[in-house]
Amino acid sequence: MPQVGPQVGMQDWPLRLHTIIDHAARQHGTREIVSRSCEGPITRTTYADVARRSRALAGALMAMGIAPGERVATLAWNNARHLECWYGIAGAGAVCHTVNPRLFEEQIAFIINDADDKVVFADLTFVPLLEKLADRCLAGRRLVLLTDRAHMPETTLDLICYEELVASGDPETRWLPVEETAPAGLCYTSGTTGAPKGVVYTHRSNVLHALSMYGGNNLALSERSVAMPVVPMCHANAWTFAFSAPMTGAKLVLPGPKLDGASLCELIHGEGVTVTAGVPTVWIDVAARLKETGPGALQRVVTAGSACPRWMMGAFDALGVELVHAWGMTELSPLGSFAVPRAEMADWDAEDLLNQRLKQGSPPYGVELRVVDEKGAELPRDGEAAGRLQARGPAVVSGYFNGAGGQVLDGEGWFNTGDIATIDTYGFVQITDRTKDVIKSGGEWISSIELENEAASHPAIREAAAIGLPHDRWGERPLLVAVRREGAAVEAHEVLAWLEGKVAKWWLPDAVVFADDLPHTATGKLDKVALRKLYAGFTLA
């Protein structure tokens, strides 16, 4: 029997990000990338052009003296130039730090200073924001405006023209051969419970996660797909679309700064979008418009970031579009589960199947999930036992930038997500609450998420949020804050009557109030911190 020694085996082929855009250029070079630019018109390019310009940008960055591992920030919408930045920055051995413009100015200043970004790439629409931030975080940093010379604005800022910078670089630049475990991306959490913390993505973690994401149970991308990521590229790695789409050769539609329902539907119909993704609030207006116009070629909508309302699932079902409820977080690169029904669920009752699809779903290969009790013991997968949700895998964070937050993994590599959840016999996760948002009444948990989902299923309610307020006898009791649909009329007693029989009687809110809108975090989630501050003086009956 021949011996298999260390010299025998597969090639040591580093998983670097540039291999993705190189593959796209070779195999799908003419496939189109469509962008709505900040200058106004829709622009069109190809994977081959993006690869060429990304190499030129990498060369220009190296000529600027950007060293491996240094951070380069982007403050930009989803567009082709931003995509070039992702690959060009990583290809130069630097770290692409995507800054979320929806954060508060103080938070943006904090993370740019914390990351010590050497260069900041920004879209035209963010020049006023840069001017406000100049004294707080931009001193000594080079600022590149993602436009051409004709659109460079008058400003006191010292700006470099992006098109001129790319033109100065060599399109034949060789990618810097960093280790696959070298950092490639940096994305900060929204910081709702303290200062934002930076999540570092490596070349290897991004490639592996993107590979696991594009399959049929997940994003369902192929060369025949037309993919429109509405989720911003600055938000949790763009849910891997900027990597998974080029891997498969999918046509990429980047919506730029216009994320309203009319603008998105224009792209859905005009470009033949087959798959799209974003947080649930995005789809409220889109679903209403598609009801009038039809869904076009749209086949799949992936939604995550907050719980998917029951009515929304039904609205897309009625259109013949599969709405897939997913779950994830920045620390998971970011998606960790998808609620795509199993083959054995084909003959399920429609209501039972809908309830299953409204869960957060099961993890793809490369993500392991479990729930544990307060002592760390794993709980049964029976769909009943609720505990702390933990995750591990090659794309799960092992620590935050600069050591913020200290040790984040236990001895077996498990990361505590901060969610309370159950896992059923099919491996489907159902998140019942965030650890910090759970309402504890009389020593027992009330799921704010379940209250919100049931309330939002009322035909007159567009969105709802449940928070716990202090109570002399029970410790906490729930307050429900609801937003009526446009033109709808519903009162508090009708909402309570709707909830009866859908949740435990002792879960029923002590009060229901109505608001014109609800606050959301920079990543589209309900901002419970802001709500608790807003209603801190509210007295429960």
The catalytic position among 258, 291, 436, 440 is 440
From CA 208, how far away is CA 303, in angstroms rounded? 21
The catalytic position among 84, 271, 322, 331 is 331
The catalytic position among 45, 189, 240, 303 is 189
Phi/psi-derived region of residue 120, left when phi > 0, alpha when psi is between -120 and 50, beta in every other case = beta
490 exposed, middle or buried (CB, 10 Å; 0-12, 13-18, 19+)? middle
Residue burial 351-383, b: 16+ Cβ < 10 Å; e: rest: eeeeebbbbbbbbbebbebbbbeeeeeebebeb
Query: Which residue has tokens 């009956």?
Result: 541
Hey, CA dihedral for 226, 229, 233, 239, is it positive or negative? Answer: negative
Residue 445 annotated as catalytic: yes
According to DSSP, the β-strands at 322-328 and 475-484 are unpaired
Can you tell me whether residue 496 is helix, strand or coil?
A: helix
Can you tell me whether residue 169 is helix, strand or coil?
A: coil
According to DSSP, the β-strands at 300-303 and 42-46 are unpaired
323 near 303, Cβ under 8 Å? yes
Can you tell me whether residue 368 is helix, strand or coil?
A: strand
From CA 527, how far away is CA 530, in angstroms rounded? 6
Residue burial 502-531, b: 16+ Cβ < 10 Å; e: rest: ebeeebbbbbbeebeebebbbbbbbbbeeb
Residue 74 annotated as catalytic: no
| Angle, in degrees to the nearest 10, between helices 18-28 and 47-63 | 140
Residues 6+ apart with CB under 8 A from 348: 341, 356
Residue 440 annotated as catalytic: yes
From CA 84, how far away is CA 247, in angstroms rounded? 15
The catalytic position among 311, 348, 445, 498 is 445
Phi/psi-derived region of residue 514, left when phi > 0, alpha when psi is between -120 and 50, beta in every other case = beta
Q: What residues act catalytically?
A: 189, 331, 440, 445
